[in-house]
Amino acid sequence: MIAVHEDATETAEAPQPVDADTEQRVSWWRMLLGGASWALLVAMIALAAAVIVVPAVTGAKTYTVLTGSMEPTYPPGTLVVVRPVAPDELSMGDVITFQLRSGEAQVATHRIVGVGADATGEPLFVTRGDANNVDDEDPVRPVQVIGKLWYAVPYIGWVNNVINGSARAWAIPIAAVGLFAYGAVMVLHAARERRRGSRAARAEA
C-alpha cells in the first residue's frame, strides 16, 4: 500500500497591496510630524539665542520678574532683557530695571511715569509698576539705573532662575549639545524619507 502524505509546505500569502488612501494619509502624517519637528527645533534655537546668545554678545543683562507689579504686560516669571542707556535717552513710558538703593543687589523693573531733576540738575525718574495705584516711594537717580527694557520672554524667567549661577556652566553646554543632536536626527530622518520616496518613484516607473 502506498502511503499518501499531505504536502506540509505552506503556500506563502501574497502581500496585500496598500490602499492608496491609507498611503496618502500616512504621507500627510509624516509631513505634518516633520514640519512640527522642524518648527520646534527652530523655536528652541530662537529661544536659546534670545535668552543666552544675544545678551552675552551685546552686554545686556537678564532678570526675572518675581512679582505682579508689572502685570498684565510682564507677569511673574517673565524674563526681561535690559541694555545700558544714557540717562538722557530715557523718557516717559520707558520700562527700566534699577537698584532700589544705589550699590545694593536688590532691583526692580518698573515704568517711568515722570521725569524731573534735583537741585543740582541731575535727572530724577519717577517710577511705578503697571499694576500699582501709586508711584514708587523714592525717585530713581541715574546711578541706580541698570538698563532699559530691550525685550521680554514670558515664563522663561523661572528657567533662568533655576540654571543661574554655577548651574549655567553645565546647563548651557548640555542644551547646546541637545539642540545639535536633535537637529542631526531631523536631518538624517529627512534624508531617509527622501531616499524612500525616490525608491518608491523608481518602483512605480
Q: Name residues whose C-beta falls within 8 Å of residue 105's C-beta, 6 or more positions apart in sequence.
A: 99
Strand partners, 98: 108, 145
Residue that has been written with the C-alpha cell 512640527 in this structure: 36
Of 172, 112, 165, 169, nearest in space to 142 by CA: 112
Strands 145-153 and 79-83: antiparallel
Tens digit of pLDDT for each residue in 151-167?
A: 999 988 877 666 665 55
Q: Which ranges of the chain have pLDDT less than 50?
A: 1-2, 5, 8-10
CB 44 within 8 A of CB 179: yes
SS3 at position 86: coil
Tens digit of pLDDT for each residue in 34-58?
A: 677 777 777 777 777 787 778 888 9
